[in-house]
């Protein structure tokens, strides 16, 4: 299951409860859940934590940048520590790179990681406020892309903080 969503979420405890309810519906076939996540702050981490809290839950991290570079996008030392803990808990992680001719901006890196996540997921879990995207590789774009490729998408309505 891939994850996309906003970084700054209002009422994260309520969001986590909504994620648990959605996960209950996704693991009804008896298979273990695997979260495919970029481990960004907010939605990515909430879903990763909730999946890892389940029996047999696993995590695959697909990062847009090398970890030492990626942490520059995090709010504070606690966020960096949380990222490190989740990365250590992942069964595997990969930094998604492009070719020499690709756009190497941070925004393009996030977009490449989002597309890689969709390629590896059977279902997309989107923690989304329903608003248009604010940049390449964001939640709205990933929901749209999931629809284009026929990927099942479960949306949890959220509000930004």
In this predicted model, what pLDDT tens digit does every residue of 1-38 receive, in sequence order? 999 999 999 999 999 999 999 999 987 666 789 999 99
Q: Kindly tell me the sign of the dihedral angle through the C-alpha atoms of 117, 118, 124, 126.
A: positive
Q: What tokens does 60 get? A: 């695959």
The pLDDT tens digits for 88-111 are 999 999 999 977 677 778 999 999
Q: Which residues make Cβ contacts (< 8 Å) with residue 74, sequence separation at least 6?
A: 41, 80, 83
The pair of structure tokens assigned to 124 is 């997309």
Read off the pLDDT of residues 32-60 as tens digits, 9 standing for 90 and up: 899 999 999 999 999 999 999 999 999 99
22 Cα distance to chain centroid = 15
Give mean pLDDT, residues 120-135. 93
Determine the Cα–Cα distance for residues 103 and 136; give it in Å rounded to an integer.
Answer: 12
Length of the chain (residues): 161
User: Do 40 and 13 form a contact (C-beta atoms < 8 A)?
Assistant: no
pLDDT of residue 135: 78
**Dist. CA 79–CA 60, nearest whole Å:** 19
By C-alpha distance, which of 72, 136, 75, 74 is closest to 104? 136
Residue written as token pair 């020499």: 100
- Are 68 and 95 in contact by the 8 Å Cβ rule? The answer is no
Residue 160 has what DSSP assignment? B
Helix (H, G, I), strand (E, B) or coil at 156: strand
- Give residue 7's pLDDT: 95
With left for phi above 0 and alpha for psi between -120 and 50, is residue 30 left, alpha or beta? left
């Amino acid at each position: 299951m891939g994850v996309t969503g906003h970084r700054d979420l209002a009422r994260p405890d309520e969001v986590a409860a909504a994620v648990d309810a959605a996960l209950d519906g996704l693991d009804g076939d008896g298979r273990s859940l695997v979260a495919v996540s970029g481990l960004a702050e907010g939605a990515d981490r909430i879903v990763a934590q909730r999946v890892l809290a389940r029996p047999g839950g696993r995590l695959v991290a697909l990062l847009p940048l090398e970890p030492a570079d990626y942490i520059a996008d995090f709010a504070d030392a606690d966020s960096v520590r949380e990222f490190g803990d989740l990365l250590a808990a992942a069964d595997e992680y990969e930094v998604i790179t492009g070719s020499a001719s690709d756009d190497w901006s941070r925004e393009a890196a996030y977009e490449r990681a989002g597309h890689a996540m969709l390629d590896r997921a059977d279902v997309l879990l989107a923690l989304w406020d329903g608003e248009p995207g604010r940049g390449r590789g964001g939640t709205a774009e990933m929901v749209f892309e999931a629809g284009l490729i026929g990927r099942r998408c479960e949306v949890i309505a959220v509000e930004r903080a």
